[in-house]
Amino acid sequence: MDTIVVTGGAGFIGANFVRHALAHSEARVVVFDKLTYAGNLESLADVATSPRYSFVQGDIADREAVRALLRAQRPSAVVNFAAETHVDRSIDDPASFVRTNVTGAFELLEAARQHLREHPQDGFRLLHVSTDEVYGTLGATGAFSEATPYAPNSPYAASKAGADHLVRAYHETFGLPVLLTNCSNNYGPFQFPEKLIPLMILNAVEGRKLPIYGDGGNVRDWLYVDDHCEGILLVLRKGAPGSKYNIGGGNERTNLQVVDALCAALDAELPAAKNPALASAGMRSYAELKTFVPDRPGHDRRYAIDASKIRADLGWTPRHAFESGLRETVRWYLANKPWCEAVQSGKYRRERLGLKS
């Protein structure tokens, strides 16, 4: 039986990929995760009893831990989601982003090289999951292709760009069978509530302000996480080693449009008049919670992904329109408030690790 090691598999996209891989392949799936604030075993609770799932706690930047993992598991594939990903946090603490995103990628590549020297095998692949933010920002028109020059504008984006360059170099220099994907903004279940969509949903439900950077005109291309995971598994199976593939939803929206759509979806699912947090304040719509705040430094104005390569070469296409994916996301967060509270408080982590509150 094939074994897929998924680094960062307890994070948002990683956990959704683990679930997707178990459902759509026969492989064993081994999750390797440090369990930082954004890595939550609670996100994998529904697959924890699967005989094809196992979990190893560890840090991708820990050389011995990563090499021991590959020696023990002898994977046929590695998919790397392990990363610090929040732009605001990267402005406050760039060092942690360099350590995890750059040094971690380096240690994983070196461990894979050693693994193949010790256990040569045909078909081994290492897929590194990256972001469209490495390309910088766009004007009013155009889209990022696989040939777009890199121009990162935040410490987060720069650290992911550094990792991408290492991945490419290890193929060109050492012949390591790597694959690289660059995705647009993901949304969906199990996303840590610091990101735009879950933050706005939870703030709105609790009657808190909905902070919107600048004029709300920053544009992102939104991709439902299940569609992204389907694309990643397809690239892992059929992508050409040494290649990169952009994965985007083709759903460009301004931040203001996203917040307005969320407010409308919430008004349909949980009307403001029936929400005590809003009704007590005399509010008739979630949109009344919108507030504009000063823009963050280096805030890229527009991203858009040209996903024509993966569509043409591998036959991938997203299954979710933005509106339907957003409705599913809102419903999931409304139905899973205990998960949100647990990951925000860290309670689940203290309990799992035997720590006091």
| Residues assigned a catalytic role | 132-133, 156
The residues, any chain, with a CB within 8 Å of residue 246's CB and separated by 6 or more, are: 132, 144, 145, 146, 181, 182, 183, 305, 306, 307, 309, 310
Sheet of strand 244-247, all strands in order from the earlier edge strand to the far edge: 53-57, 28-33, 3-7, 77-80, 125-131, 178-183, 244-247
187: its two tokens = 């949304």
State how far the Cα of 211 lies from the Cα of 26, in Å rounded to an integer: 44
3-state secondary structure of 357: coil
3-state secondary structure of 151: coil
Element spanning 55, H or E: strand 53-57
- Decide if 100 contacts 37 (C-beta within 8 A): no
- Decide if 60 contacts 100 (C-beta within 8 A): yes
Q: Which residue has the tokens 């919108």?
A: 290
Which DSSP symbol is given to 181? E
State how far the Cα of 347 lies from the Cα of 343, in Å rounded to an integer: 7
326: its two tokens = 């957003």
- Decide if 69 contacts 117 (C-beta within 8 A): no
State how far the Cα of 312 lies from the Cα of 351, in Å rounded to an integer: 47
State how far the Cα of 206 lies from the Cα of 299, in Å rounded to an integer: 27
> What's the half-sphere exposure (Cβ side, CA atoms, 13 Å) at 150?
15
